[in-house]
Amino acid sequence: MELSLFLLVSAAIVLVSQGQPPPPHPPPIISETFSSGFRTKEPESSSDEEFYYTGEIKTNFEEQKYFSLITTVFEDMPKRHEWRLELYERKETYIFEWEGNSTKPSGICKKQSNSGVMSPRFSWTKNATYSETKMYGDRKVDIFTGWFNTTKDNIGVDQEKKNIPFFATMHFDSEFYITYYYHDFDPTPPPSNTFTIPEECQRKF
C-alpha cells in the first residue's frame, strides 16, 4: 500500500513538472527576413545637432539581400536621403544619395563591393534578459536587454505581438545610440522586385 502511494505521488509530481507553464517573459525571436517602417527618436550623442531618421528597411536573409531607404531629418537643413541595395551573394552594393523633399532616388548611382556576408540584426534578442514592462499608450511593452557584438542594447515587444519589435535601441559606441520605433514590421519575405538593380546602376562603372 505504501509503495503504491509513493508511486502515485511520484507520478503526480512528474505530471505537474511536465505541465508547468513557460517563463512569463521569454525572450523574443525576431525574424531576420522582414519589411519594416520606422522613425527614430533623436539620437543621444555629444553633438548639439538635432536630427532624426525615418524610412524603411526590407531584407531577405535566406537570399542574403538587403534594401533600405532612410531619410535624415534636420532641424534647419534640407532632408538627406540614402537609398541602398545590398546583394551579398554578388558582393555588390548600390547607393543613391540626394537632398530635398522627394524620396525618389536621384543623382549618381554608386557601386561598391561588400563583404559577401549579411550580418543578422536581431540574433542577439533570443538570449536577451527581461528587464521590465512599460505602458506606451494602451500597449503593454516587455523590454529585454542583451549584448550585440560589444554593445548592450534593448528591444521592446508588445505583449500581444511577442516576436514583433515595437522598438529597438542600438548602440554604435559608448556615447551614441539610436532608438528605432517600428510602425510596421512584416516578418515575411518582401516582393522579389524590392531587390531589382535600377537601370541607372547597370551601366559600366
- Cα–Cα distance measured from residue 87 to residue 117, given in angstroms and rounded to the nearest whole number: 9
Query: Is 26 among the domain residues?
Result: no
Under DSSP, the state recorded for 105 is -
Instruction: Grade residue 10 by pLDDT with cuts at 50, 70 and 90.
Output: very low
The answer to whether 136 and 129 have CB atoms below 8 angstroms apart is no
Higher local confidence (pLDDT), 38 or 204: 38
Q: Out of 24-28, 48-52, 104-108, 119-123, which region has the weakest mean confidence (pLDDT)?
A: 48-52
The answer to the question of residue 81 being in a domain is yes
* 159, part of any domain: yes
Give residue 60's pLDDT band: very low, low, confident or very high (50, 70, 90): very high
Domain residues for the domain of 101 are 34-196
User: What is the sign, positive or negative, of the torsion defined by CA atoms of 79, 56, 190, 205?
Assistant: positive
67 pLDDT higher than 50: yes
Residue 188 sits in a domain of what CATH number?
A: 2.50.20.30
pLDDT tens, 85-118?
999 999 999 999 999 999 999 999 999 999 999 9
Q: Is residue 107 part of a domain?
A: yes
C-alpha cell at 46: 555629444
Q: Of 203, 198, 33, 204, nearest to 104 (Cα)?
A: 198
Examine residue 94 and state whether it is found in any structural domain, yes or no: yes
Tens of pLDDT, residue by residue over 27-41, are 999 999 999 999 997
In a domain, 22, yes or no: no
Q: Domain for residue 3, yes or no?
A: no
* pLDDT at res. 94: 98
Question: Can you give the pLDDT at residue 17?
Answer: 46
Residue 146 lies in a domain: yes
pLDDT higher than 50, residue 3? no
Distance, CA of 156 to CA of 140 (rounded, Å): 10
